[in-house]
């Protein structure tokens, strides 16, 4: 069965599903949640150290500094349909 514009109903359904998936921004949200878990795990690990070395301090700082970058990308990405 063909729908409007010569596109089959199956393809129309797939396009609508893709648009819904894209509008919900599932992948960026999952990545932010995953990186939040990485930051929290790093925090717990770092606080458990008795006497952290400079390398360990640098590692924790880089993880938390990159979190700001990830969050910035997430906030600025927005939906593609809204301009």
Q: Answer whether residue 5 is part of any domain.
A: no
pLDDT digits (tens, 9 = 90+) for 24-70: 888 888 888 999 999 999 999 999 999 999 999 999 999 999 988 88
- Chain position carrying tokens 């960026």: 28
Q: Please indicate whether residue 21 or residue 39 has the higher confidence score (pLDDT).
A: 39
- Chain position carrying tokens 């919900």: 24
Quote the pLDDT of residue 6.
58
In the chain, the number of structural domains is 1
Q: Answer whether residue 53 is part of any domain.
A: yes
Q: How confident is the model at residue 83 (pLDDT cuts 50, 70, 90)?
A: very low
> In which domain, by residue range, is 50 found?
25-83
Q: Answer whether residue 19 is part of any domain.
A: no
pTM reported for the whole predicted model: 0.65
Q: Answer whether residue 20 is part of any domain.
A: no
Give the separation between CA 56 and CA 48, rounded to whole angstroms: 12
């Amino acid at each position: 069965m063909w729908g409007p514009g010569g596109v089959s109903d199956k393809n129309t359904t797939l396009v609508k599903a893709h648009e819904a998936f894209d509008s919900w921004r599932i992948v960026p949200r999952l990545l932010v949640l995953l990186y939040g878990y990485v930051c929290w795990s790093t925090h717990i690990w770092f606080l458990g150290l008795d006497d952290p070395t400079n390398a360990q301090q640098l590692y924790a700082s880089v993880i938390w500094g990159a979190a700001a970058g990830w969050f910035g990308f997430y906030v600025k990405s927005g939906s593609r349909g809204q301009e």
